[in-house]
Chains A and B, each alone.
Chain A
Amino acid sequence: MTKKGLISVVEREHILSLLNHGKRTDGRSFNEFRKIQIIPGYVQKAEGSAIAKIGKSKVIAGVKAQMGAPFPDTPNKGVITTTVELVPVAAPEFESGPPREYAIELARVADRAIRESEAVSNEDLVIIPSKSVWILFIDIYVLDHDGNLYDACELAALGALLNTQIPDVKIVTNEKGEEVVEVLETTHPLVMKHTPISCTFSKIGDNIIVDPNYDEESIQDTRLTLAFTEENKICSTQKGESGSFSVEEIKKCIDIAAERTKDIRSQLDKIVDPQGYPWSEESS
Chain B
Amino acid sequence: MAKNKEETVLITKDGIRHDGRKREDLREISFEVGVLDRADGSCLIEWGRNKILAAVYGPRELHPKHMQMPSQAYIRCEYRMATFSVPDRKRPAPNRREKEISKLLGEALDPALFTYLYPRSVIDVFIEVLQADGGTRCAAITAASLALADAGIPMRDLVSGVAAGNLSGKVVLDLDDIEDKEGEGDLPIAYLPNLEKVVLLQSDGIFTPDQYKEALDMLVPACKKVYQLQRKAITDKYSQINDAVQKDIDAEAKAKPAKDKKKADESKAKDDKKDKKKADDGKKSKADKEDKKKKGLKKPSKKKDDKKQASKEKEAKKD
- A244 to chain B: closest residue by CB: B197
Shortest beta-carbon distance from A90 to chain B in Å: 20
Contact across chains for B204 and A112 when beta carbons are under 8 A apart: yes
Which of A101, A104, A247, A255 interacts with B216 by CB under 8 Å? A247
Alpha-carbon gap, A118 to B102, bound state (A) = 26
CA distance A108 to B98 in the complex (A): 11
Contacts of A59 in B (CB 8 A): none
Contacts of A73 in B (CB 8 A): 1
* A 125-157 contacts with B by CB, 8 A: none
Please judge, given known A-B contacts A233-B208, A255-B209, whether A224 and B99 are in contact too, CB under 8 Å. no
* Interface hits, A54-85 → B, CB 8 Å: 73
| Contact between B208 and A244, CB atoms less than 8 A apart | no
B6 within 8 A of A: no
Given contacts A242-B111, A255-B209, contact A250 B103 (CB under 8 A): no
Known: A1-B107, A239-B198. A108 touches B100 (CB 8 A): yes
Interface bracket on B: 35 or more
For window 28-47 of chain B, which residues contact chain A by CB distance below 8 Å? none
Asked whether B187 is an interface residue with its Cβ less than 8 Å from the other chain, the reply is yes
Is the CB of A116 closer than 8 A to any CB of chain B? Answer: yes
Q: Known contacts A242-B111, A243-B111, A246-B198; is A105 also within 8 Å of B103 by CB? A: yes
Collect the chain B residues with CB atoms within 8 Å of residue A1's CB. 74-76, 103, 106-107, 110
| Residues of chain B contacted by A243 (CB below 8 angstroms) | 111
Task: Name which residue of chain A comes closest to B203, CB basis.
Answer: A237
A240 touches B (CB below 8 Å): yes
**Other-chain residue from B100, B199, B201, B205 in contact with A116 (beta carbon distance below 8 A):** B205
Q: Are A234 and B201 in contact (CB under 8 A)?
A: no
A250 contact from B76, B97, B198, Cβ within 8 A: B198
Q: Does B222 touch A at the CB level, under 8 Å?
A: no
Task: Mark contacts of B178-215 with chain A using CB atoms, 8 A cut-off: 1 yes-contact digit, 0 otherwise.
Answer: 00000001010000100111111111111111001100
* Interface flag for B10 (CB, 8 Å): no
> Does B297 sit at the interface, judged by CB under 8 A?
no
Residue of A nearest to B216 (CB): A247
Q: A237-B201, A245-B201, A246-B196 are in contact. Are A232 and B206 (CB under 8 A)?
A: no
Would you call B96 an interface residue if the criterion is a C-beta within 8 Å of the partner chain's C-beta atoms? yes
Whether, in the assembled complex, A198 has its beta carbon less than 8 Å from a beta carbon of chain B, the answer is no
Closest CB-CB distance, B95 to chain A, in whole Å?
Answer: 10
The answer to whether B206 and A235 have CB atoms under 8 Å apart is yes
Given that A234-B212, A250-B201 are contacting pairs, would A229 and B206 also be in contact in the complex, using a CB cutoff of 8 Å?
Answer: yes
Q: In the complex, are the beta carbons of B220 and A247 less than 8 A apart?
A: yes
Of A3, A115, A229, A244, most B-chain CB atoms within 10 Å: A244
| Alpha-carbon separation in the docked complex, A240 to B108 (Å) | 8
> A51 interface residue, CB < 8 Å from B?
no
CB proximity of A102 to chain B, nearest CB, Å: 8
With A234-B207, A242-B75 already in contact, 15 other A-B pairs whose C-beta atoms are closer than 8 Å: A101-B99, A104-B96, A104-B103, A105-B100, A105-B103, A229-B206, A232-B209, A234-B206, A237-B203, A239-B198, A242-B107, A243-B111, A250-B198, A254-B209, A255-B209
Q: Measuring CB to CB, which residues of chain B are less than 8 angstroms from any residue of chain A? A: 1, 69, 74-76, 96-97, 99-100, 102-104, 106-108, 110-111, 185, 187, 192, 195-209, 212-213, 216-217, 220
A sample of 14 cross-chain residue pairs with beta-carbon separation below 8 angstroms, ordered by A number, consists of: A1-B74, A101-B99, A108-B100, A116-B204, A117-B206, A224-B201, A232-B209, A234-B206, A236-B203, A239-B201, A239-B202, A241-B107, A246-B198, A247-B216
